[in-house]
Amino acid sequence: MKSAKLGFLLGFSLFCLLSPPVLSFVEKVAARLCKEFNDPCALEMDPGSCYESHYRFFYNQTSKKCQIFVFSGCNGNRNNFMLKIDCDVMCNEEYKVKPQSQETRSHLRVTSPQPGGLKQTERKPTGRQRARRESGRQPLARHHAE
């Protein structure tokens, strides 16, 4: 093998071995630096730069609540929700689903109802059935041709 090809293969092998730790470090740094771009709730309220008026909601990090503001219709940022519930679900800690710890999961049991434990709903008799029962008459027997 020629030395140039051998050098390339050696360099490429080293790159493949060393790149995952370096790339994961870069990924972690980028995640920290870009948190506000990934999380709309971390952004400040931006009314935009046009001249329309639209009522919208933004997450106020100081008050920890979704509040109403007037959006101008263009530009702005992602901390801009049409519905308050959308803002709450995305940003408010009360609405976020908390991951269960292993300890919590181990205390939960799945149960299913037992066949004898279920009540069947009772059907109320119709007016005709009630009248027959009160009069003591039996319904007419239907005769079928054999």
pLDDT tens string 55-84: 999 999 999 999 999 999 999 999 999 999
Domain housing 61: 40-96
pLDDT tens string 84-104: 999 999 998 887 766 666 555
> Does residue 19 form part of some domain?
no
> Does residue 22 form part of some domain?
no
> Does residue 85 form part of some domain?
yes
Instruction: Please say whether the beta carbons of 23 and 31 come within 8 A.
Output: no
Instruction: Please say whether the beta carbons of 61 and 41 come within 8 A.
Output: yes
> What is the CATH number for 74?
4.10.410.10
pLDDT tens string 16-57: 666 666 566 767 776 666 655 678 999 999 999 999 999 999
CA distance 29 to 51: 38
Query: What is the model's pLDDT at position 135?
Result: 66
Q: Count up the domains in the chain and report the number.
A: 1
Query: What is the model's pLDDT at position 118?
Result: 47
CB atoms within 10 A of CB 92: 16
In 3-state terms, what secondary structure has residue 103? helix
> Does residue 108 form part of some domain?
no
